[in-house]
Amino acid sequence: MAPQLEAELSQALASKAIGEQVKASLKRLLAGRRPGIEDVARELRVSSRTLQRRLAEDGATFQQLMQEARRELAHHYLQHSSLELNETAYLLGYEDAHSFFRAFHDWEGSPPGEWRARHARSTHSVQ
């Protein structure tokens, strides 16, 4: 059953645009490390050069997709877990929490702790 499930997952991924495939792969690989294009290419079973070419054809860059994957995961972790901010930074592959705080502030215009508190309040007020 596992090989069949893996084949179905591969088929579902293959039907997505290359940028979405790369982001999905990055989200799986980001867990206390910073995967490179070689890691993603290996997971997608293409050469890193082929991956770069396909991204360029799609108008995307690996670095841009890395930032998008980190941002989406950061939102998820901040809204749906009680992880410490330092743990969140680690899971997103940042060398230190300060780098994560700076990146998050650039994305959202506020520090991650403040963003989490604001979104927790808006989630509770909706319920």
Which pair of tokens denotes residue 103? Answer: 């990146």
Q: Which amino acid is at 88?
A: T
Q: Enumerate domains of the chain plus CATH numbers.
A: 2-126 (1.10.10.60)
For residue 50, give the 3-state DSSP assignment: helix
Which pair of tokens denotes residue 82? Answer: 């009680």
Please state the three-class secondary structure of 62-123 as a single string. Answer: HHHHHHHHHHHHHHHHHHHCCCCHHHHHHHCCCCCHHHHHHHHHHHHCCCHHHHHHHHHHHH
Per-residue pLDDT 10s for the chain (127 aa) are 566 656 665 665 555 789 999 999 999 999 888 999 999 999 999 999 999 999 999 999 999 999 999 999 999 999 998 899 999 999 999 989 999 999 999 999 999 999 999 987 665 544 4
Give the distance from CA 118 to its chain's centroid: 22
User: Which residues neighbour 84 within 8 Å (Cβ) at sequence distance 6 or greater?
Assistant: none
Per-residue confidence (pLDDT) for residue 8, from 0 to 100? 61
Q: What is the pTM of this model?
A: 0.81
